[in-house]
Chains A and B, each alone.
Chain A
Amino acid sequence: MSELAHPPDAETDYERVQRSPEFQALRRRFRAFVFPMTGLFLVWYLLYVLLAAYATDFMSTRVWGNITVGLLFGLGQFVSTFVITMLYARWANTHQDPIADELRQRIEGRDL
């Protein structure tokens, strides 16, 4: 293991990578993407649940035939879930993976 290559009180490879600006940037970008996105979809979902529970008249408004505001709101949750999924996957594939791979090799390359 990599730790054995160092005296016990020295930094491990993981600590060195953790301190590196590349990793700090990777971590910052990850959190800056997933935390607001999580907040967004949770608020959007809670809004839906609250409206369904307490604004039943509004949700029962017919938009077209028997298609109500509530039904469209519900389908909107499906759409937002699909959109966020694809946004995240594309973002992570292009922006995060190359840097994560590079950092991984810094540690594992030394292991092998």
Chain B
Amino acid sequence: MNAQLLAAEATEVGNPAVNIGIFALFVAVTLVIVFRASKNNRTAADYYAGGRSFTGPQNGTAIAGDYLSAASFLGIAGAIAVNGYDGFMYSIGFLVAWLVALLLVAELLRNTGKFTMADVLSFRLKQRPVRMAAALATLAVVFFYLLAQMAGAGGLVALLLGISSSAGQSLVVVVVGALMILYVLVGGMKGTTWVQIIKAVLLIAGAAVMTVWVLATFGFNMSEVIQGAVDRFGEGGEALIEPGKQYGATATSKLNFLSLGLALVLGTAGLPHVLMRFYTVPTAKEARRSVVWAIWLIGIFYLFTLVLGYGAGALVGADQILAAPGGVNSAAPLLAFALGGEILLGIIAAVAFATILAVVAGLTITAAATFAHDIYASVIKHGEVNPDGEVRVARLTVVVIGVLAIIGGIFAQGQNIAFLVALAFAVAASANLPTILYSLFWKRFNTTGALWSIYGGLISCIVLIALSPVVSGKVDPVTGASQSMIKNTSVDFAVFPLENPGIVSIPLAFLLGWIGTHVGKKDASPEKFAEMEVRSLTGAGSEKATVQH
């Protein structure tokens, strides 16, 4: 088949006016809610943590809204449609990871911290160096995650609005970025949370409708859905139901799969924008309820994506998905069009945009809180800054991050978003998780251990990514085209063979934390450790809600 022709056909999928109309409706409704929610945004706790007055179920839904990013919806459905079983692995890792957050992190963090991850890490260690390190790690994770979302926005636009020129796509990225800045600037954490709740409900409902529709098409028989995908794929379609289509070729690619699996399961509990959500509820008990709600919503949604992925393989076809302007990421929208024509496509497209908007807003407020609360107020001003001044800096940061996200989004187009998110998870699992666990559970842990672990994890992750086939030297054996970020195939400095650094950088960061603690000076005062331990398990002295509903 002629890929060019398919691409041209796919560009005309749906009616751009319908897509834009439904999306505009979403923006209008959420803007009204954000403006209403912003009325009591007075203190720093209001702006960063929504006054800590959300209920567990509300926050759990918002967590699902924050977590089910474009990578989950578009990336996983596409990965299953094209690579079959190996795509399913992403959703399993993304889900099981929540148990780490539920059992080891959520409640203890809520009880100990105030606004950011660094609050907990620096609780009983030297404030300034640890805060600085934790803030830099936070910003690095947010950066990779933001790139993924913005890349998703660009690809989606190409498909849905029929805009294939890069100038047109860039314009839409600018619009998405500007809207996000408005939400976060005006609404703070409260507005962001409501946008995420609305989006989660829309996304899960939309996926549910499509799932039932796909199953109904195949007589509610999952085996038949899979058979449809196998038949549609043609020669070699059987590989879709077996593990190893994407990762099974060589010993290196299998190791890559392990590395990815490790990064996914250990990354979630180190994602700063997820951790920050635990501060929006009044107590640790509500934080626990949030995670329980989030796990159910996220788990059920991933079960939907399994059906949607194979359904897209069956009803759209892997070759047509790959040839569409958004590539792998276009599987879900194309499936919507195949099922319900331009109206369903319009709704799903609007949901996907809303997804990107909501996740980007959550990331932005996290980055802003980190910069204003940790770097500006604590490190630069030594804590001598009034809360109003801190929030003003946070709002300014929102604008800066928004602009950076827009620029990044314009450059990141065409990258697979599930994969970019996997990199963010690797950084979170390496730089953040070891220090979080050590500082919550290990009495002897000290500043040297924290700094070695955070910087060791962060630097090893970034260096290994830079030296990996992701950045240079990966060439498609058939077409000879580059599959790396650097498109010049003669440039090749990929000395590290794995695309995901987790299997090296995560154990390294744990090890460095342990060695650093034994090498460094003891600095944890017993009364500070007692305070942290008692506080983490009982909630005594924890930050209270500022607003009562």
In Å, the complex CA distance between A18 and B530 comes to 6
Q: Please give, as numbers and ranges, the residues of chain B lying within 8 Å of A15 by CB-CB distance.
A: 526-527, 530
Q: From residue 195 to 232 of chain B, which have CB atoms closer than 8 A to chain A?
A: 221-224, 226-227, 230
Q: Please give, as numbers and ranges, the residues of chain A lying within 8 Å of B88 by CB-CB distance.
A: 71, 74
- Do the beta carbons of B223 and A107 come within 8 Å of each other? no
Asked whether any CB of chain A lies closer than 8 Å to the CB of B5, the reply is: no
In Å, the complex CA distance between A1 and B226 comes to 63
Using an 8 Å CB-CB cutoff, how does the interface string of B503-538 with A read, 1 for contact, 0 for none?
A: 000000000000000000000001100110111011
Asked whether any CB of chain A lies closer than 8 Å to the CB of B470, the reply is: no
Q: Please give, as numbers and ranges, the residues of chain B lying within 8 Å of A106 by CB-CB distance.
A: 540
Asked whether any CB of chain A lies closer than 8 Å to the CB of B114, the reply is: no
CB distance from A71 to the nearest CB of B (A): 7
Q: Which of A45, A46, A53, A77 has the most CB of B within 10 A?
A: A53
Asked whether any CB of chain B lies closer than 8 Å to the CB of A5, the reply is: no
In Å, the complex CA distance between A25 and B241 comes to 49
In Å, the complex CA distance between A57 and B265 comes to 25
Asked whether any CB of chain A lies closer than 8 Å to the CB of B340, the reply is: no
- Do the beta carbons of B534 and A60 come within 8 Å of each other? no
Asked whether any CB of chain A lies closer than 8 Å to the CB of B243, the reply is: yes
* Nearest CB in chain A to that of B245: its residue: A56
Q: If A34-B103, A66-B226, A100-B538 touch, does A52 touch B96 (CB 8 Å cutoff)?
A: no
Q: Please give, as numbers and ranges, the residues of chain B lying within 8 Å of A64 by CB-CB distance.
A: 223
- Do the beta carbons of B530 and A14 come within 8 Å of each other? yes
- Do the beta carbons of A27 and B248 come within 8 Å of each other? no
In Å, the complex CA distance between A49 and B285 comes to 32
Q: Please give, as numbers and ranges, the residues of chain A lying within 8 Å of B540 by CB-CB distance.
A: 14, 17, 103-104, 106-108
The SS class assigned to the A binding surface is helix
Which among B151-159, B271-279, B288-296, B345-353 touches the partner chain?
B288-296
Interface residues on B, range: 35 or more
Asked whether any CB of chain B lies closer than 8 Å to the CB of A89, the reply is: yes
CB distance from B443 to the nearest CB of A (A): 11
* Nearest CB in chain B to that of A44: its residue: B96
In Å, the complex CA distance between A45 and B261 comes to 9
Option from A38, A84, A97 in Cβ contact (under 8 Å) with B285: A97
Q: Please give, as numbers and ranges, the residues of chain A lying within 8 Å of B248 by CB-CB distance.
A: 53, 56
Q: Which of B93, B99, B292 has the most CB of A within 10 A?
A: B99
- Do the beta carbons of B103 and A108 come within 8 Å of each other? no
In Å, the complex CA distance between A60 and B84 comes to 12
Option from B99, B224, B262, B285 in Cβ contact (under 8 Å) with A85: B99
Q: Which of B222, B291, B535, B537 has the most CB of A within 10 A?
A: B537
In Å, the complex CA distance between A59 and B84 comes to 13
Q: Please give, as numbers and ranges, the residues of chain A lying within 8 Å of B223 by CB-CB distance.
A: 64-67
Q: Please give, as numbers and ranges, the residues of chain A lying within 8 Å of B98 by CB-CB distance.
A: 81, 85
* Nearest CB in chain A to that of B244: its residue: A56
Using an 8 Å CB-CB cutoff, how does the interface string of B246-259 with A read, 1 for contact, 0 for none?
A: 01100000100110
Q: From residue 47 to 93 of chain A, which have CB atoms closer than 8 A to chain B?
A: 48-50, 52-54, 56, 59-60, 64-68, 70-71, 74-75, 77-78, 81-82, 84-86, 88-89, 92-93
Q: Which of B258, B292, B531, B540 has the most CB of A within 10 A?
A: B540
CB distance from B363 to the nearest CB of A (A): 25
Asked whether any CB of chain A lies closer than 8 Å to the CB of B303, the reply is: yes
In Å, the complex CA distance between A60 and B241 comes to 7
Q: Please give, as numbers and ranges, the residues of chain A lying within 8 Å of B86 by CB-CB distance.
A: 52
CB distance from B283 to the nearest CB of A (A): 10
Q: Please give, as numbers and ranges, the residues of chain B lying within 8 Å of A108 by CB-CB distance.
A: 540-541
Using an 8 Å CB-CB cutoff, how does the interface string of B81-119 with A read, 1 for contact, 0 for none?
A: 000011011001101101110111001000000000000
Option from B224, B285, B534 in Cβ contact (under 8 Å) with A107: B534
Option from A37, A46, A104 in Cβ contact (under 8 Å) with B538: A104
In Å, the complex CA distance between A82 and B292 comes to 9
Q: If A15-B526, A41-B99 touch, does A50 touch B299 (CB 8 Å cutoff)?
A: no
Q: Please give, as numbers and ranges, the residues of chain B lying within 8 Å of A56 by CB-CB distance.
A: 242-244, 248
CB distance from A78 to the nearest CB of B (A): 6
Asked whether any CB of chain A lies closer than 8 Å to the CB of B539, the reply is: yes
Other A-B pairs beyond A26-B537, A49-B257, 11, CB < 8 Å:
A23-B537, A26-B538, A34-B103, A45-B93, A50-B258, A56-B244, A59-B242, A66-B222, A70-B241, A74-B89, A81-B96
Q: List 20 A-B contacts (CB under 8 A).
A: A12-B527, A15-B530, A17-B538, A23-B538, A34-B104, A37-B103, A38-B100, A38-B103, A45-B96, A49-B257, A53-B247, A53-B254, A53-B258, A65-B227, A66-B226, A66-B227, A68-B85, A70-B241, A77-B95, A106-B540
